[in-house]
Structure 1
Amino acid sequence: MGEFLMDKVDLDDVLDKFGVFDRYHAVSGIFLVLGMAWNAMWYFNFIFVTEKVEYRCADHLLPNNTSANASTTLWCANPAVCSEWVYDNPDSFVAEFQLACQEWKRTLIGGVQSFGLMLGSFIIGALSDRFGRKTLIVITGVTGAALGLAKSFSTSYWLYFALEFLEAGFGDVTSPLFTLAVEMVATKSRVTYATICNVGFSGGLLVVLIAWLVPYWRHFQRVLYAPGLLFIVYIHVIDESPRWLLSQGKKEEAVHIIRKAANQNKLNIEENLIDMISCEKDEGLSFFTVLGNTLKSKSLLKRFIVCSVCLIACTFASHGLIINSVSLSGNKYTNFALSFGLKLPSSILSGYIIAKFNRRSPLILFFMACAALCIGQPFIPKSKYLLWLLILTYMAGKLTASMCLNTALIYTFELFPTKTRSSMHALCLAISKIGSITATQTPLMMAYWSGLPTAMFGGVALVAGLATLLVPDTGNKNLPNTVCEAEALEYSDRIKK
């Protein structure tokens, strides 16, 4: 009877024997963190490249320029009266492409980036399930670096616009990198390793230092993107996900990686245990077949809708608060650094909380806290004596928004089965770009009320918090391998109740 029960061994039973801080996972984690950090810098570079620059009409220069700023609105209302513009920074993106009175073109760069990320996620997620996590990390990393360098040589606004779209669509390593990080560890280590990966995203804070040291936007992008060509070395420094290899029927390759990891950690694992790891090859489903099968399951369809709503809210609030931070009183570099720097403590704090208290309840709490802080912040009197409270509340809202995003990424990932996990997670991420696309346009809303963007961030967080009540918890549960196992998560929740 004992031999019959041991015919198959779940991969988690073997991965349980590995520690995330042992040599193999520690070294792999370093490269995953570096990849996430570099990708984060690429993600937010447009904030400094397309920064707002003041300008005035050269035909109507006034003594000491005393009323030039006030006159700009009138000139833009009737641009025919001005034949030439003078920019405060003649080497800026706005000046080189002559974007005076075309504020929409400046903010559109952030919007097309998010749109590219949205469409690219459909493709990258499906390719990741088809060709592997490692393969897509290398391809997207090198492609992103090459297209980013090409942007720095743009000779026209629309050429830059097109390259921004292509880079975002085909040069984002986030999805395959995060998928690999979560799949290469056991259930008990999932949150810890995913948190370490998320901490890497906070490394994107270096973009502030680079922007300060290299202010000219063309040179800034060359310094930023050139090191990304080194993603090619990831062919040799990281391994494929054993979980994905097993889903493809490539048991020998998966076993080789597990033995390699055991040797590096000087860990003795019974050969019989490794040989009996279950291996089930998938059917080679296309992306649209995956979507169709998901829609057939009412339970997974509901999760897909809720996950999409939550991630839209997370990206809208988190990215919107970062983008609008440069409009706060004070130094733009300092404000951006403070806002983006909250990614590190938010990753650590949210990781600790969801490891202790599962997923759903903490996520709802984070959403509600974000809603309260963001809706309340605009109503704080704008007095110089309360400036500290205004900024503190704004940053606290950003902290909770980042905690929402960190938790939602892990939570969403755990709700779908292995054979379709990357595709469905990528699909949810793609739809979530609706939030980041909208977020890039929120600075324009300040013309109606300065507190409107922040209040909107709070409103969507409130809606997402309520929607989270509709999905099951996944804490301390094995990652589901099939649709049936994924649906069973909901039944286990009902039994507990």
Structure 2
Amino acid sequence: MSPNSVSLDSILIEIGGFGKFQRVVVLLILIAASTINIPALVWVFETKEVNYRCELPGCESNPPQYKSSWWSDAIPSVDNTPSKCEKYKRLVNNNQITSCEFDRNVTEHCDAYVYETDEISIVQDFNLHCEENLWKLTLVGTINSVGVFVGLPISGVLSDRIGRKLILVASVTLSGLCGLIRSFSNSYIFFILMQFIDSVFRAATYPTCFILDQILYGMCLIVLSWYWLLPESIRWLLAEKKYTDAANLLKRIAKTNGTTISEEKLSELWNSSITPNSAGRKHSFKEIFNSSIITKRFINCSICWTICMFCYYGMTFISVNLSSNSYLDFILTILVEIPSSVAAYLLIDRIGRRYSLALGFFVCGVSCLSFICIPEDLYWLKLSMYLLGKFGISINVTGLYTLTSEMFPTPLRSSLLSICSTFGRLGVMTAPQLPLLKLYWEPFPLTLFVSTAFIAGVLSLLFPETMNTTLPDTIKEAEKIGKKGRTESESTLCNSEEVPKRITVVNEVVKY
């Protein structure tokens, strides 16, 4: 780049930095930010295994009670709790079956059940009782992740080719329609099918919205009315050589922020955006494999994504089984993400991205190990350690999105973020199966969190530090990230006093 050339970052500062325009766009996204995880996590309660026992016709009160005074005479006990699917066989006297007398030496399966509470899940709706049907409950979460796994790479490529905004609006609209249809499911197969289709469409909302505005959530149906309010990514417009659209957007930003931008500046920006190596051609995903540096980062990033998503979603999923108050435990594991967002804001711009990642993984591993070792009667101490582990891994969700979007070049950024996130879905796909592992050993899931978190903590130290660096527009620029020999001209715009510090999950929209 010549000394007289103009960069997009310098123009963004000139037209107001993070001004009124950016704040309005961020507000639009934040209004719906809390809704996208509802369809993503509601299956945790839809498939929640409730307590129940066999129904004994002729012996039950009206209405039947889960723990009646006589249950131990009629039903085997498991940890002082009625067995879910077995009952003692009724005694036979003179070829007549007695009403409420049982042979405690012989058990048999039952076909009707009495529930502890009035909670409704697909266990009752589709008759998914007993251990032989437990895999059908865990399959719902896995199917949800498989759908996202399929949808992420498709949405990433389409986002790079036709724009972030169109993909975002289409995905959330179709996802909302699928969710509505799924609520009327009358069979397990149809329920699973709609869960898959819904998650395929929903897959685009997370990474596309983050690329558009560096936010970790998406939008629901309300975004349809915002299509003409949300801007397209300026960097994507420049990468696609759509200079007229980029110019109109920059002028719109300048006008909203109360500043101006000259035609000369725009002309210099167009000229600096066209290089001999980039003019007239598009970058191919295969090009990253021509660079050993980018390839190694991509592989390491995919591994860390897999482990992070496995621990993050796994700790969220099994929180409903920590105690009898599943709703309180689940709410606490979600609320802990509020202080973790503050911590992410404080850490990633102070100690750096990779050290923040390492710290988050190690905190998660140590906390889960402590949870295993603490006695069961110290419930609040165990819960505190569990929440601390969720706190650590939640920091890394923000950190990974930030690091991944900063160390890859603009033309491939959305594709690589989506692909890394796709590998993360491998971890999410296995997380719903954790209840099956508990059948063999109760601490098995937490042990996996400990071991994988420590591995990822070490691997995260191998990443280059992207704090105080500009977003790379080419593969060569991306290779230079983390090298000590970078020139001052390549230093970040983040050091400028004119640009406010980023707020955890919200950054300047126009950077993407």
TM-score of the aligned structures, taking structure 1 as reference length: 0.83
Matched, 1:50 2:47: yes
Matched, 1:66 2:71: yes
Matched, 1:311 2:305: yes
Identity %: 31
Greater shift in the superposed pair: 85-94 or 259-268: 85-94
Matched, 1:430 2:422: yes
Structure index of larger Rg: 2
How far residue 71 of structure 1 moved from its aligned partner, in angstroms, is 3.2
1:72 is paired with a residue whose SS is coil
Instruction: Report the residue type matching 2:347 in the other structure.
Output: I
How far residue 490 of structure 1 moved from its aligned partner, in angstroms, is 4.4
In the other structure, the counterpart of 1:208 is none
In the other structure, the counterpart of 2:9 is 12
In the other structure, the counterpart of 2:355 is 361
Hey, what's the Cα distance between the residues in 1 that align with 2:17 and 2:335?
25
How far residue 44 of structure 1 moved from its aligned partner, in angstroms, is 0.8
Compared CA separation, residues 305 and 401, structure 1 to 2 (3 A): same
Compared CA separation, residues 91 and 388, structure 1 to 2 (3 A): closer
Deviations 1:224-256 (A, max 9, x none): xxx932221121120000100000000110111
How far residue 274 of structure 1 moved from its aligned partner, in angstroms, is 2.8
Matched, 1:178 2:190: no
Hey, what's the Cα distance between the residues in 2 that align with 1:410 and 1:253?
27
Matched, 1:350 2:344: yes
8 A Cα contact 1:358 1:473, kept in partner: yes
1:302 is paired with a residue whose SS is helix
In the other structure, the counterpart of 1:463 is 455
In the other structure, the counterpart of 2:23 is 26
Q: Give matches, 1:180-199, under 5 Å.
A: 180-181=212-213, 194=214, 197-198=215-216
8 A Cα contact 1:20 1:26, kept in partner: no
Hey, what's the Cα distance between the residues in 1 that align with 2:150 and 2:161?
17
Q: Give matches, 1:341-490, under 5 Å.
A: 341-383=335-377, 386-490=378-482
How far residue 331 of structure 1 moved from its aligned partner, in angstroms, is 2.1
Deviations 1:303-333 (A, max 9, x none): 1111111111111111111111111225222
Matched, 1:116 2:121: no
Matched, 1:132 2:163: yes
Compared CA separation, residues 80 and 145, structure 1 to 2 (3 A): farther
8 A Cα contact 2:15 2:260, kept in partner: no
8 A Cα contact 1:94 1:100, kept in partner: yes
8 A Cα contact 1:57 1:82, kept in partner: yes
Hey, what's the Cα distance between the residues in 1 that align with 2:325 and 2:447?
23
- Specify which of 194, 197, 213 is matched with residue 163 of structure 1: 194
How far residue 375 of structure 1 moved from its aligned partner, in angstroms, is 1.8
How far residue 15 of structure 1 moved from its aligned partner, in angstroms, is 1.7
Greater shift in the superposed pair: 296-305 or 139-148: 296-305
How far residue 284 of structure 1 moved from its aligned partner, in angstroms, is 4.2
Hey, what's the Cα distance between the residues in 1 that align with 2:171 and 2:163?
12
8 A Cα contact 2:359 2:392, kept in partner: no
How many equivalent pairs are there?
A: 446
Compared CA separation, residues 248 and 464, structure 1 to 2 (3 A): same
Matched, 1:95 2:132: no
1:56 is paired with a residue whose SS is strand
How far residue 477 of structure 1 moved from its aligned partner, in angstroms, is 0.6
1:160 is paired with a residue whose SS is helix
Greater shift in the superposed pair: 41-50 or 78-87: 78-87
Hey, what's the Cα distance between the residues in 1 that align with 2:129 and 2:407?
48
How far residue 73 of structure 1 moved from its aligned partner, in angstroms, is 4.7
Greater shift in the superposed pair: 393-402 or 350-359: 350-359
In the other structure, the counterpart of 1:105 is 136
Hey, what's the Cα distance between the residues in 2 that align with 1:381 and 1:282?
65
Hey, what's the Cα distance between the residues in 1 that align with 2:107 and 2:44?
26
8 A Cα contact 2:86 2:110, kept in partner: no
Hey, what's the Cα distance between the residues in 1 that align with 2:223 and 2:26?
15
How far residue 179 of structure 1 moved from its aligned partner, in angstroms, is 0.6
8 A Cα contact 2:50 2:119, kept in partner: no
8 A Cα contact 2:237 2:245, kept in partner: yes
Instruction: Report the residue type matching 2:367 in the other structure.
Output: L
1:5 is paired with a residue whose SS is coil
Instruction: Report the residue type matching 2:195 in the other structure.
Output: E
Instruction: Report the residue type matching 2:254 in the other structure.
Output: A
8 A Cα contact 1:472 1:493, kept in partner: no
Matched, 1:145 2:167: no
8 A Cα contact 1:141 1:229, kept in partner: yes
8 A Cα contact 1:414 1:474, kept in partner: yes
Q: Give matches, 1:126-275, under 5 Å.
A: 126-172=157-203, 173-181=205-213, 194=214, 197-198=215-216, 228-275=220-267
Greater shift in the superposed pair: 395-404 or 441-450: 441-450
Instruction: Report the residue type matching 2:124 in the other structure.
Output: A
Hey, what's the Cα distance between the residues in 2 that align with 1:79 and 1:439?
34
Compared CA separation, residues 466 and 60, structure 1 to 2 (3 A): farther
In the other structure, the counterpart of 1:218 is none
Compared CA separation, residues 265 and 410, structure 1 to 2 (3 A): same
8 A Cα contact 1:282 1:419, kept in partner: no
Hey, what's the Cα distance between the residues in 2 that align with 1:144 and 1:23?
31
Structure 2 regions of 5+ residues with no counterpart? 61-67, 76-80, 88-105, 489-512
RMSD: 2.7
Which structure is higher in helix share? 1
Structure 1 regions of 5+ residues with no counterpart? 182-193, 202-226
How far residue 18 of structure 1 moved from its aligned partner, in angstroms, is 5.6
Hey, what's the Cα distance between the residues in 2 that align with 1:143 and 1:307?
30
Matched, 1:82 2:76: no
Hey, what's the Cα distance between the residues in 2 that align with 1:306 and 1:11?
30
